[in-house]
Amino acid sequence: MYYLVSLFIGILVAVMITVNGGLTTLYGVYSATVMIHIVGLILISAIVFLRKEKPFAKMQPWYLYIGGVIGVATTAATNSAFGKISVSAILALGLFGQSVMGALVDQFGLFGMRKHPFRAHQIPGTLLVAGGIAWMMGGEFALWPIIAVFGSGVLLVVSRAYNARLASNTSEFISTFFNYVCGLITAIPVFLFFGVREPIVSNFQLVPQWWIYLGGAIGVITVWLSNVVAVKIPQLYITLLMFVGQIFMGVLLDALLDGAFSFANIAGGILVALGLALNLLMERRSSRRLTAEYNEAIE
């Protein structure tokens, strides 16, 4: 079930990116970031209130609250690359950063997460994943945008890990609440420093396209679901499943909204999906073999 949830998170992320893109186009990058966090905070605050949870009743170590702060950094890093490299390259590099960091977290149990050591039978599937990433990159090279997007992928895994640890000590809803509180506290000064010349300052107006304001609400769902799955299955598998859902939903949205179709994205997504499926299959076979050997030993 948790694998399907990870796939669904990827689908939601693709929708969220499309929605947030409309908001960014209208108001500006930093203004949109603040608005997204405000909408998300309103929603998760209402949920926490209705559930009668008490987020401030028992505070946790300070470092467990930095997931939202890191989330703002991932957004800024990705936004800085737009227009310098293609969206396909951004998706591929983000996946690469998440994959590398996810593998390290799984291997060494970083940030207090459960260990899922890399095994030799994962190599063929991993090579397919690498091939999918390379296909989507399409030979593009621009040093600083590449570093920024790769870093955003790394930071996303770190943010997810800290949010998940906070959730395990409190609840998924309280962790999501603090993700948006800390994110908003970070986003406001960033906006005041970088966004004072954006359109929202000189000509703020609400538009009839109400759906562009829902990015924060969708983000609440994705953060909450991420908190649920992050402690259940390996970080690398979460990353790859989210990516598969994001890629194919993104292709569908491009076709519906712009009539565009990316063969590179489809081909890369298929290779990543095949690599993931192969790894999951080998993992299941290995688990069954170890279980059978254990049962034989105790008999």
Using an 8 Å Cβ cutoff, are 161 and 111 in contact?
yes
Range of the domain at 44: 2-298
Q: Which residue has the tokens 């943010």?
A: 159
Q: Are 257 and 23 in contact (CB under 8 A)?
A: no
Q: Which amino acid is at 24?
A: T
> Cα angle at 185 between 161 and 210, to 5 degrees?
90
Q: Are 237 and 3 in contact (CB under 8 A)?
A: yes
Q: Residue 43 — pLDDT band, cuts 50, 70, 90?
A: very high
Cα separations (Å) of 123 from 137, 150, 217, 243, 274? 21, 22, 38, 19, 13
Residues 6+ apart with CB under 8 A from 202: none
Token match 């030979």: residue?
A: 139
Count of structural domains, the chain: 1
CA atoms within 13 A on the CB side of 235: 35
Give the CA diameter of the chain: 77
How far apart are alpha carbons 50 and 105 in whole angstroms?
Answer: 35
How many C-beta atoms surround the C-beta of residue 113 within 10 A? 21
- Give pLDDT tens digits for 75-108: 777 766 765 666 666 777 777 787 788 778 877 8
CB 275 within 8 A of CB 127: yes
* pLDDT digits 0-9 by tens, 156-197: 888 888 988 899 899 989 999 999 999 999 999 989 988 888
Which residues, including other chains, have CB under 8 Å from residue 206's CB and lie 6 or more apart?
Answer: none
Contacts of 28 (CB under 8 A, 6+ apart): 195, 198, 199, 200
Supply the Cα-derived Rg of the chain in whole angstroms: 20
Do residues 113 and 161 make contact, with C-beta atoms less than 8 angstroms apart? Answer: yes
Confidence of residue 127 (pLDDT cuts 50, 70, 90): confident
Residue 249: the pLDDT is 78
Whether residue 141 is predicted with pLDDT greater than 70 in this model: the reply is: no
Q: What is the pLDDT of residue 22?
A: 79
> Is the torsion defined by CA of 61, 62, 65, 70 positive or negative?
negative
Helix (H) or strand (E) holding 47: helix 29-50
What's the confidence (pLDDT) of residue 226? 85
pLDDT at 140: 58
